[in-house]
């Protein structure tokens, strides 16, 4: 030991190289691994929230509440749809396709959306995960720059460049011109560049239009398709067995 700490290369998400981003062929010629482009892209999107809230880190199709939702006739079809989406996740993200989950409080829409984001990140895709109120707060922070903070234009570029943008609780904020402008700009840019989104909301489409604007909802439909309605009991208030 020389007293120096060995720096370990991050593992290749594709299992193709030694983590360096390069593959050495039998003739000792180096060629870039496919993971290199992904890592360059991820580096360009640093500064956005790319981690799940702690309570969703263990989310899985095989664990409650999603396993229970898949057995419940009221939510089974939506869980199956999400399964099909993630089974073809690379193609869905490459094509800018997304998901729009709609339902009352506690019906599992956020949990399902977090699972999609988790699987996307595990597959090596870049993602940003925000509730709408926290996203707006983060955007507002760019107007009050401190040392090392991202400017508005840089944060906007990174936010709209990730492979998957997950916005939770869409419509859960007071409407004003600034909010409408921010939402439309983000959704319109991702629509124009064919980048995927996953959104959740408590609101029916007509009510969401009143809250965030018809233009924004129209583009969400183009990205995500029609909303997937979730029905059922509020799982957060389920009583523990006696």
**Whether residue 94 is found in the same domain as residue 15:** no
**Whether residue 23 is found in the same domain as residue 136:** no
The DSSP bridge pattern shows strands 196-201 and 30-32 to be unpaired
Kindly report, residue by residue over 16-36, the tens digit of the pLDDT: 788 777 777 776 677 888 777
**pLDDT score recorded for residue 120:** 95
Kindly report, residue by residue over 182-214, the tens digit of the pLDDT: 999 999 999 999 999 999 999 999 999 999 999
**Whether residue 111 is found in the same domain as residue 184:** yes
**pLDDT score recorded for residue 5:** 38
**Whether residue 101 is found in the same domain as residue 193:** yes
Q: Per the structure, how many domains does the chain have?
A: 2
**Whether residue 37 is found in the same domain as residue 53:** no
Residue 70: domain span: 49-231
**Whether residue 37 is found in the same domain as residue 85:** no
**pLDDT score recorded for residue 210:** 92
**pLDDT score recorded for residue 240:** 43
Counting as low any pLDDT under 70, the low residues of the chain are 1-10, 27-28, 37-49, 145-148, 232-242
Residue 1 domain flag: no
- In 57-195, DSSP assigns E strands to 99-103, 127-131, 164-168
**Whether residue 64 is found in the same domain as residue 175:** yes
Report the alpha-carbon distance of residue 9 to residue 184 in Å, rounded: 40
């Amino acid at each position: 030991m020389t007293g120096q700490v060995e720096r370990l290369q991050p593992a290749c998400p594709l299992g193709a190289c030694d983590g360096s981003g390069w593959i050495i062929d039998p003739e000792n010629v180096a060629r870039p691994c496919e993971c290199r482009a992904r890592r360059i892209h991820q580096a360009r999107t640093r500064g956005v929230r790319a981690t799940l809230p702690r309570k969703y880190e263990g989310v899985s199709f095989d664990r409650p509440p999603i396993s229970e939702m898949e057995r419940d006739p009221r939510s089974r079809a939506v869980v199956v749809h999400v399964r099909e989406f993630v089974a073809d996740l690379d193609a869905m993200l490459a094509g800018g396709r997304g998901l729009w989950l709609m339902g009352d409080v506690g019906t599992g829409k956020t949990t399902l959306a977090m699972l999609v984001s988790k699987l996307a990140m595990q597959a090596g895709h870049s993602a940003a995960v925000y509730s709408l109120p926290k996203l707006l707060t983060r955007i507002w922070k760019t107007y009050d720059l401190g040392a090392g903070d991202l400017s508005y234009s840089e944060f906007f570029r990174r936010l709209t460049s990730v492979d998957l943008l997950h916005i939770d609780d869409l419509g859960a904020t007071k409407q004003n011109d600034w909010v409408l402008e921010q939402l439309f700009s983000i959704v319109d840019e991702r629509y124009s560049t064919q980048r995927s989104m996953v959104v959740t909301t408590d609101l029916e489409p007509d009510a969401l239009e009143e809250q965030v604007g018809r233009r924004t909802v129209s583009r969400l439909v183009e990205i995500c398709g029609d909303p997937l309605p979730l029905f059922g009991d509020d799982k957060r208030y389920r009583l523990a067995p006696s």
